[in-house]
Amino acid sequence: MSSAAPRPFAAAPRGPLTGSARVPGDKSISHRAIMFASLAIGTSRIEGLLEGEDVLATAAAMRAMGATIARGDDGVWSVDGVGVGGLLEPEAALDMGNSGTSTRLLMGLVASHPIRATFVGDASLSKRPMGRVIAPLSDMGAEFTATGNGRLPLMVRGIAPAVPIAYTLPVASAQVKSAVLLAGLNTPGITTVIEPVATRDHSERMLAGFGADLTVTDSPAGRVIALRGEAELRPQHIVVPGDPSSAAFWLVAASVVPGSDIVIANVGMNPTRTGLIAALRLMGADIAEQDARSVGGEPVADLRVRHAPLTAITVPPELTPSMIDEYPVLFVAAAFASGTTVARGAHELRVKESDRIAAMAEALTACGVTVAEHDDGLSITGSGGAPIAGGARVASKLDHRIAMSMIVAGLHARETITIDDAAPVATSYPDFFDTLQSFTN
């Protein structure tokens, strides 16, 4: 997958945000829907799939390993799976583009099949460490040849039968958990993952929906997820809810831009994903849930967001796992609050698509915000609701969330903020600019 040409974007005030919009399908659920459907026997249908570059990379990889995947004219995707154990060896390297989720989860799938697969990615993905996935999958019997310190390009030589393991996550990571569980699907016996700190549970919910023999229990050591291998997955009809990580940008934008009043429809409200909403409410944000309902086993609601003055907080550490992807835009919210917000406990941000702590510290400082950088987060002294200075050209670092977060910052700045490259936005939110236009017409 080739990288898009750089796309600078000038972010400037456009007045209050008004109206309603839907955000794209949840990226985490979209990845898993394609993968699990590809392992079922029969035809699955997926509605609301996020059609960003990251999810399309997952679809391309599953096609390369034997699944038949097609998009209908009605926007519904059909997937004819190969069955657990039926993956074919891809003829060429699997190009993951910018998608760390695709890479880590697919490494798990390949690990317990008797095939080899080589993973490559763009410059940003090639810098991201894969060692935390390599370690447990190696314990299951897979072999890896990686570049440098466990980075891409990387080759996985899977094994069947693999060895079931009981693995305690050393860091809170839904990707590592999911990689081990996916390897366990084609492994005889019971594969167990213990997570001392709960992470997003989309894999567990969806695997159970596809018919996997999976249990989740609480213990003094944390959540224990046990999966019986050599599973037979049944095809499903999946409706993907709106991505709370995409909704996050509008939650913050409407909160900080005076006069704003918007509705974001069909947002996934899985409790392992709503940390940002909790943090913003602690800061005083006016976010109301409307028409709460369940769609495909996932809680969903429409969110009405109105401008409200924000007050600085110390972000509760227990919220971190449920908002790890939303920290960049939380930093933007903090830039407009009254007082100094302290957001720490997020070491994981150092190894995302970019070093999101350093990238946001650099970008906000360039825009006149007072920022103190810590090894695990930032302390940010806000403007008390006034516009920030802006007037800077900031680097997105090939990171979609940095680009979108700083565009939000520009909506309430005295001078235009120019993002050097907003092209990475397409990896997760292809319609971002259209939605921005609809809210600010």
pLDDT confidence of residue 124:
87
CA distances to 46, 216, 268, 277, 280 from 319, rounded to whole Å, are: 30, 21, 17, 10, 11
Per annotation, catalytic residue among 26, 54, 201, 325: 325
pLDDT digits (tens), the chain, 441 positions: 445 578 999 999 999 999 999 999 999 999 999 999 999 999 999 999 999 999 999 999 999 999 999 999 999 999 999 999 999 999 999 999 999 999 999 999 999 999 999 999 998 899 888 999 999 999 999 999 999 889 999 999 999 999 999 999 998 899 999 999 999 999 999 999 999 999 999 999 999 999 999 999 999 999 999 999 999 999 999 999 999 999 999 999 999 999 999 999 999 999 999 999 999 999 999 999 999 998 877 899 999 999 999 999 999 999 998 999 999 999 999 999 999 999 998 998 998 888 999 999 999 999 999 999 999 999 999 999 999 999 999 999 999 999 999 999 999 999 999 999 999 999 889 999 999 999 998
- Rounded to whole angstroms, the Cα distance separating 340 from 74 reads 48
431 classed as catalytic: no
pLDDT confidence of residue 129:
87
- Rounded to whole angstroms, the Cα distance separating 259 from 257 reads 6
Cα dihedral across residues 278, 283, 289, 295: positive or negative: negative
Count the residues in the chain: 441
Pairing of strands 43-47, 68-71: unpaired
414 assigned to a ligand binding site: no
Classified as helix, coil or strand, 312 is coil
pTM check: above 0.95: no
Q: Which domains does the chain have, with CATH numbers?
A: 9-25+241-439 (3.65.10.10), 27-234 (3.65.10.10)
294 assigned to a ligand binding site: no
- Please give the helix or strand (H or E) that residue 415 lies within, else none: strand 413-415
pLDDT confidence of residue 356:
96
Distance, C-alpha 358 to centroid of its chain: 19
DSSP codes joined into one string, 75-113? S-EEEE---TT-PPPPSS-EE-TT-HHHHHHHHHHHHTS
128 assigned to a ligand binding site: yes
Classified as helix, coil or strand, 12 is coil
141 assigned to a ligand binding site: no
- Rounded to whole angstroms, the Cα distance separating 193 from 178 reads 9
pLDDT confidence of residue 353:
86
- Rounded to whole angstroms, the Cα distance separating 123 from 109 reads 24
Are 17 and 260 spatial neighbours (Cβ–Cβ below 8 Å)?
yes
Q: Cβ contacts of residue 216 below 8 Å, gap of 6+?
A: 201, 204, 223, 224, 225, 226
pLDDT confidence of residue 263:
98
pLDDT confidence of residue 378:
98
28 assigned to a ligand binding site: yes
- Rounded to whole angstroms, the Cα distance separating 138 from 111 reads 8
428 assigned to a ligand binding site: no
2 assigned to a ligand binding site: no
pLDDT confidence of residue 358:
96
Strands (E), 231-348: 237-239, 261-268, 286-295, 298-306, 340-343
pLDDT confidence of residue 4:
58
Distance, C-alpha 240 to centroid of its chain: 14
